[in-house]
Structure 1
């Protein structure tokens, strides 16, 4: 994540990247997929490849491929949304297509992916099926969890969360920054 706590949410935040104070809610971003995060430092060096938008883990028998995406969570009792920066795994074919068209500002396509981050309030969220939709203008793809998948995160995505819950999530992530 890229934010440092300045005051109680949703007041102001000092951005760890630019050093400026922002008054908007921060995006809750993960620097890597959980699969990469859980590797030892030695494994990251030997079998992992991570940059700001792509991640690969080269196991002896397979390669796991991930891309960075966004998710917009509806907040019911205010005119705000909670933004997430997450990672999904893609098939080799989808990953290759996305990577080949990464700089194509007109590339708009859908892929199937699996969510690869956990949000504390939901416990294990790995392998929630998602539609991954690329966007024109080289913006990060957005994900939409499959509505028929039985998980509290999916239910909250479609029904929305309260402002109090959104503020709690922001506080939780900001308090856990290393």
Structure 2
């Protein structure tokens, strides 16, 4: 792993930072054929729109920070969430506004290899000052192991296992 060494603020020791686990596209985009990607989808580093014959799916890129219980550093994910048309348009209109702070309802649109997904997870998307990517918070009342792990935290061993799995792929 390519890691960056730093002196930790919480323990004063030198650590190597973890890379973020990032997804280049929402799962819906990844599942399209090459022809469909050309014909019905538009994607860049922050936005994705897929125009199906019966609906339009809109996605934005966000960050989720997973607490790691037995370590000073948390695990960062770069996820995509789907937004309603109104929320997507509002986010797009305010994308370059450094002072835009709001919340949207969104659905997690990536599947994490360590978990089974039959449905998407509802989230709250929180925009931040300074044009940082929005942070997402899974709805705590949604019954899913990923949501439980988000609120209870994971071990350093589990975090490193996830990073190694993603780096292999």
**Length-normalised TM-score, structure 2:** 0.91
Question: Could you tell me which residue of structure 2 aligns to residue 24 of structure 1?
Answer: 17
CA distance in 2, matches of 1:75, 1:126: 25
1:43 aligns with 2:42: no
CA distance in 2, matches of 1:156, 1:39: 30
CA distance in 2, matches of 1:159, 1:125: 22
CA distance in 2, matches of 1:77, 1:39: 39
CA distance in 2, matches of 1:127, 1:166: 22
Instruction: Indicate if the aligned counterparts of 1:75 and 1:161 stay in contact, CA closer than 8 A.
Output: yes
* Among candidates 134, 137, 141, match of residue 141 of structure 1: 134
1:68 aligns with 2:46: no
- Could you list the structure 1 runs, at least 4 aligned residues long, displaced by more than 4 angstroms after superposition: none
CA distance in 1, matches of 2:118, 2:138: 11
1:52 aligns with 2:75: no
* Among candidates 93, 97, 120, match of residue 90 of structure 2: 97
1:123, distance to aligned residue in structure 2 (A): 2.3
Question: Could you tell me which residue of structure 2 aligns to residue 9 of structure 1?
Answer: none
Instruction: Indicate if the aligned counterparts of 2:65 and 2:77 stay in contact, CA closer than 8 A.
Output: yes
Instruction: Determine helix, strand or coil for the equivalent of 1:149.
Output: coil
* Among candidates 137, 144, 164, match of residue 151 of structure 1: 144
1:125, distance to aligned residue in structure 2 (A): 6.7
**Root-mean-square deviation over aligned CA pairs:** 1.2
CA distance in 1, matches of 2:108, 2:54: 22
**Length-normalised TM-score, structure 1:** 0.86
CA distance in 2, matches of 1:61, 1:31: 25
Query: For structure 2, which runs of at least 5 residues remain unmatched after alignment?
Result: 5-15
Aligned residues: 158
CA distance in 1, matches of 2:120, 2:157: 27
